Amino acid sequence: MKKKSLSAKKKIHKKLLFYLKDPLIKKIYNKFDRIIKLNHNKSHFSVAVSGGSDSLSLTYLSKCYSILNHIKVMYYHVDHGLRRESSKEANKLRLELNKFDIKCKILKWKGKKPKSNIQSIARNERYKLIYNDCIKNNINYIFVAHHIDDLYENFIIRLLRGSGLKGLVSFNQIITDYNYKLKIVRPLIGLKKNDLDLLSNRVFKFKFDDPSNKNTNFKRIRIRNLIDNLKSDGLNLKKLNLTINNLSDSNFAINHYVKKNIEENAKYFRLKKCYILNTSFFNQPHEIVFRSLINILKKIGNKYYPPRGNSISQLLLKFGSGEIKKANISGCILEKIDNSFIIYEEKRKKQ
């Protein structure tokens, strides 16, 4: 690198780190730093950048962390192409971040766009695009900017959907597996959106507002507005957070027995990429069997999102009654052979 370029880069880094002298920003960074050091092993990671204040805050914190710890960080923005101006905005975001020595790569979602369930499908495609590029760059972590307000929204959405314990608290986890190669990290999950807005405004002084964040056709936006209304009517978010934490403790206990069930009653064959389950696997409480099966299906099918809980429940009922002996679900084949069950990839022919 030329001396002039190196000097300019050092000047930018110095300016970025200078903001850490601000008491609020320093407090946020210290929380971020503790979470990363507890949940991450100092390897390279990637950051999903939407352009909103939440992801810009995460971008800044990650940049500071990379400077102070000499770690490579990849920054990704996905241009979904759902709005006419999205490509123009993506390029503008890239140019703005470049002024801070933050190289943001634009990934484009190509192909036909959905007319319904847009947010969910777009989220899946976003993760796929980032995942594919991360694998090329030998990166095993993607940082996302979910914060505590997102946690509350997700809890209410899943409560209304009739989700079980795992679904209700899944968003509360700092780190989750996307698949066996990539992990998703939520280092901001304990932080408030208002604080992230302040951080982003002080450092970058720009942001990109997604019009869909005000579109009440989306359930998440209606829930967000509902929570705001409930706050004015006395909703105590601290008590809601306490409820989520208590449920998380119960979920942790169940996961202990799920892990034990898989270890003792299932055998994984790595070369054939299949599991063989013995009958004891299914002689556990329903929730243990239910979760054990989902974990195995996610691993074999290489999926981030598991199949719907109702699909799993119906499958277990049909196998239990003897109605079926073979089924395909979530990219996997589940087959009963004598007193054992085998699970393998749908695309792979059974030997």
Q: What is the per-residue pLDDT across 292-325, written as a single tens digit (0 to 9) for each?
A: 999 999 889 877 677 777 888 888 888 888 888 9
- For residues 282-295, average pLDDT: 92
Res 349: pLDDT: 47
Return residue ranges of the chain for CATH 3.40.50.620: 3-235
- For residues 160-173, average pLDDT: 87
Res 39: pLDDT: 80
Tens-digit pLDDT profile for residues 126-148: 999 999 999 999 999 999 999 99
Q: How far, in Å, are 47, 50, 87, 117, 139 from residue 79 at the CA level?
A: 15, 9, 6, 18, 21
- For residues 237-262, average pLDDT: 94
Q: Sort strands 274-277 and 266-269 into parallel, antiparallel or unpaired.
A: antiparallel
- Which band of pLDDT confidence, cut at 50, 70 and 90, is reported for residue 268? very high
Cα–Cα nearest to 243, from 169, 298, 306, 297: 169
Tens-digit pLDDT profile for residues 167-208: 899 888 898 888 778 899 999 999 999 999 999 999 998 888
Q: Residue 226 and residue 231: Cα distance in Å, rounded?
A: 9
| 316 contacts 292 by C-beta, under 8 angstroms | no
With 90 as the cut, is the pLDDT of residue 246 above it?
A: yes
Question: Residue 48: CB partners within 8 Å, gap ≥ 6?
Answer: 55, 76, 77, 78, 126, 130, 142, 143, 144, 145
Give the global pTM.
Answer: 0.82
With 90 as the cut, is the pLDDT of residue 344 above it?
A: yes
CATH 3.40.50.620 fits 3-235, yes or no: yes
- Assigned token pair, 108: 């484009």
User: How many residues are listed for the chain in this entry?
Assistant: 351
Res 51: pLDDT: 92
Look up tokens 């206990």; give the residue: 253
Average pLDDT in the chain: 89
Q: What is the DSSP letter of 102?
A: -
Tens-digit pLDDT profile for residues 75-115: 999 999 888 888 999 999 999 999 999 999 999 999 888 88
